[in-house]
A and B are shown apart, each in its own frame.
Chain A
């Protein structure tokens, strides 16, 4: 029987080989799951979200109960961090919502046109700290204190033999403004004051790149999770997309790769039109993580020789499908995608994913 350290080494090696587009002994499987784990372990979402540590323990317990798969995307729940990611308020279970209702963004126009000037004059960091604390009501000191425990939370998973796939998380800079302004207002800004928005994004981008370089060096993270979720091709005209989405994806990803890390593009919604742009990254240095909205076979055709693909068992299938449907879908993916593929759910496993469906994913990956 293998020790947990041996399992961790084997699983990490399997995942990294898949990212490098090399053959593996079996298809790796990494789960992106948080609220699902709470349901799996019978923990109310309010308790699950009471602290990052509490959520981390529940996710680890869930992983152990699920058994033989390679790792989790993250060591703790995402919901409490949403205000820092989307610059928007979030309604939490046990606070604004009933105890067992999933956290949800309460997106409103909180950021103003005047804030654009403040960012240009003072910089993103000083603005963001004040904004998140005073206008979103986040206790930033407490949250940062909790985040400082990340290395220990990651170690807990590692000690149990599981890889934490992407301990570092970042968002593309346009998402900050899209969330803070609200998406319709942000789009209006792109038509009414494009030059100013671009200048603001440039300020944020520079600080973001400086920060991610420091974080990669400090943590020695192998994979960095980048979420350009609202940058989907289906939302933007090509002209807007190139100027306000791709430019910032490319700049940020290039910096991550320069630092020696892998960039994991967390791709929600449909990006079919613009897949070719992702060919500009060096071979084996990026992962295209898809939620199933973009045709995974199209991704394979356009990018399969350049980057690993991760996905894409849809939330709907996990919630409404049968174990046979999930198993057959995963098995077909594994056969069709070949090397350079990591089996995963599309985006995060939903809280109402059926346990037997998640187990069916594991069975397909392990052959057990």
Chain B
């Protein structure tokens, strides 16, 4: 039995203890997927603290860094065990003519930490890039980001094209100026006000809650 409670120390953002805990469990022969599962539970705790208003973006970003550092210690073990099981897939990108990526990257990281596969198509992504990704990866969810109000029209066109390619896919929108009125304008299925909102909406889309 591990002496270090990985879920707890990750939720407390104690990087040194998280790394020590992961190494301790690897040495004890704990399967990598089991360790990863504990790290993800820690991230769920972070999410709950964020939703409760006890944690902020600063803690969110730091928790993602700690998670990435810890899970990198498991990389070879996870790879040797075949493809890591995920809860579902999201195709994510910033729409054409908008190059902002900080928010998108945070969303991608937090979704990854919570067990989702993210296909990141980058920034300034043309409509056909999203459509091609939908056809190739068959995601449960497509996430469209923008920081510019001038991107609303292309966001709307992207939603239409994605829905035409796969009517069953859930399309979520988010970004600085985006709100419910923008989601409605674009014909999206929902609006995410932050990264954990994206996690909850994606869970809902894949039938997890």
Contacts and interface: CB of A to CB of B under 8 A. Distances in A.
Interface stretch (B29-37, B96-104, B157-165): B96-104
B150 A351 contact: yes
Interface residues of B, number: 28
A111 to B, nearest CB: 15
A234 B194 CA distance: 11
Interface residues of A, number: 32
Interface stretch (A123-131, A248-256, A302-310, A312-320): A312-320
A187 interface: yes
Contacts, number: 75
A101 interface: yes
B9 to A, nearest CB: 14
Contacts of A102: 148, 150
A190 B58 contact: yes
Interface stretch (B82-90, B134-142, B178-186, B195-203): B178-186
B65 interface: yes
A98 B150 CA distance: 14
B73 to A, nearest CB: 18
For B55, B100, B102, B149, which residue has the most chain A Cβ atoms within 10 angstroms? Answer: B149
Given A235-B56, A319-B149, A191 B62 contact: yes
Contact of B177 (A107, A240, A315): A315
B56 A315 contact: no
A316 B177 contact: yes
Interface string B5-45: 00000000100000000000000000000000000000000
A350 interface: yes
Given A188-B61, A319-B152, A237 B56 contact: yes
A352 interface: yes
A315 B98 CA distance: 16
A316 B181 contact: yes
Contact of B58 (A98, A240, A315, A350): A240
A328 B150 CA distance: 24
Contacts of A101: 97, 150
B13 A236 contact: no
A300 interface: no
B106 interface: yes
A24 interface: no
A20 B189 CA distance: 46
Contact of A320 (B59, B62, B102, B181): B181
Contacts of A209: none
Interface in A98-139: 98, 101-102, 104-107
A183 B185 contact: no
A182 B102 contact: yes
A108 to B, nearest CB: 9
Most chain A beta-carbon contacts within 10 A, residue among B62, B99, B177, B178 = B177
Nearest to A108: B101
B57 interface: yes
B185 A107 contact: no
Contact of A234 (B56, B101, B105, B178): B56
The 4 closest A-B pairs by CB, nearest first: A350-B149, A235-B57, A319-B149, A187-B61
Interface of A: 91, 97-98, 101-102, 104-107, 182-184, 187-188, 190-191, 233-237, 240, 314-316, 318-320, 350-353
24 contacts: A98-B97, A101-B150, A102-B150, A104-B147, A104-B148, A182-B102, A183-B61, A187-B61, A188-B62, A234-B57, A236-B58, A237-B56, A237-B59, A314-B177, A316-B178, A319-B149, A320-B181, A320-B185, A350-B149, A350-B177, A351-B149, A351-B150, A352-B149, A352-B152
